[in-house]
């Protein structure tokens, strides 16, 4: 079975979660399947070129699950981007619109050395607000955004349009 089919078969739609009208993409069946999960990690690393990245940014919370093993395979550091108030040191923050509200995310101000090549990793690209905010945080902290990798792209929400010329790699587009 090809990787895209394997991924699609292991993503469960949950209607009206976290609020009415939203169809949540539950990736827990995929995470529980070693072959599918390993395929996701390998595909991201292969796409961006092993050794070409200094730091991996994982976006809270499901992005952490994917970003940490990607960082390990790159031999790169892992930098968490979290919701406001969750990081213990001085931070940059960025507020953005979600598909179903607004949110503020933060990253430590000292997360990168000047010029670090940074890959942003998340589970879903929806409206593009979270990814665009994370990219802005990376730039503000001195990193160079090398790209964005997501497991699922909700193409009907046109999130790519908020990301300019950023290299966007999605494993599945719906």
- 3-class DSSP assignment, residue 39: helix
Q: Is residue 80, in this structure, part of any structural domain at all?
A: yes
Residue with tokens 């699609």: 8
Q: Is residue 107, in this structure, part of any structural domain at all?
A: yes
How many CB atoms lie under 10 A from the CB of residue 38? 11
The whole-model pTM stands at 0.94
Q: Is residue 27, in this structure, part of any structural domain at all?
A: no
Q: Is residue 141, in this structure, part of any structural domain at all?
A: yes
- Residues designated as active site: 62, 99
Domain count, the chain: 1
- Mean pLDDT per block of 10 residues along the chain (174 residues) reads 92 93 93 97 92 94 97 97 97 84 93 96 94 97 97 95 95 96
Q: Is residue 6, in this structure, part of any structural domain at all?
A: no
Q: Is 101 exposed, middle or buried (0-12, 13-18, 19+ CB in 10 A)?
A: exposed
* CA–CA distance, 162 with 125 (Å, rounded to integer): 11
Q: What is the pLDDT of residues 115-147, one digit of tens each?
A: 999 999 999 999 899 999 999 999 999 999 999
Q: How far, rounded to the nearest angstrom, does the alpha carbon of residue 16 sit from its chain's CA centroid?
A: 22
CATH (domain of 77): 3.40.50.2020
Q: Is residue 145, in this structure, part of any structural domain at all?
A: yes
Q: Is residue 19, in this structure, part of any structural domain at all?
A: no
Q: Is residue 9, in this structure, part of any structural domain at all?
A: no
The domain containing residue 142 runs over which residues?
50-173
């Amino acid at each position: 079975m090809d990787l895209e089919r394997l991924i699609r078969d292991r993503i469960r739609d949950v209607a009206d979660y976290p609020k009415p009208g939203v169809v949540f993409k539950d990736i827990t069946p995929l995470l529980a399947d070693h072959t599918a999960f390993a395929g996701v990690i390998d595909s991201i690393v292969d796409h961006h070129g092993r050794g070409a990245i200094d730091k991996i940014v994982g976006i809270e919370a499901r992005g952490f699950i994917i970003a940490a093993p990607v960082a390990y395979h790159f031999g790169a550091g892992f930098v968490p981007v979290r919701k406001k108030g969750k990081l213990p040191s001085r931070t940059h923050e960025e507020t953005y619109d979600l598909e179903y509200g607004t949110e503020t995310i933060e990253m430590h101000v000292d997360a990168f050395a000047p010029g670090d090549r940074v890959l942003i990793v998340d589970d879903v690209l929806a409206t593009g607000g979270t990814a665009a905010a994370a990219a802005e945080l990376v730039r503000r902290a001195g990193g160079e955004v090398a790209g964005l990798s997501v497991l699922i792209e909700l193409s009907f929400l046109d999130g790519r349009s908020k990301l300019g010329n950023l290299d966007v790699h999605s494993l599945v587009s719906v």
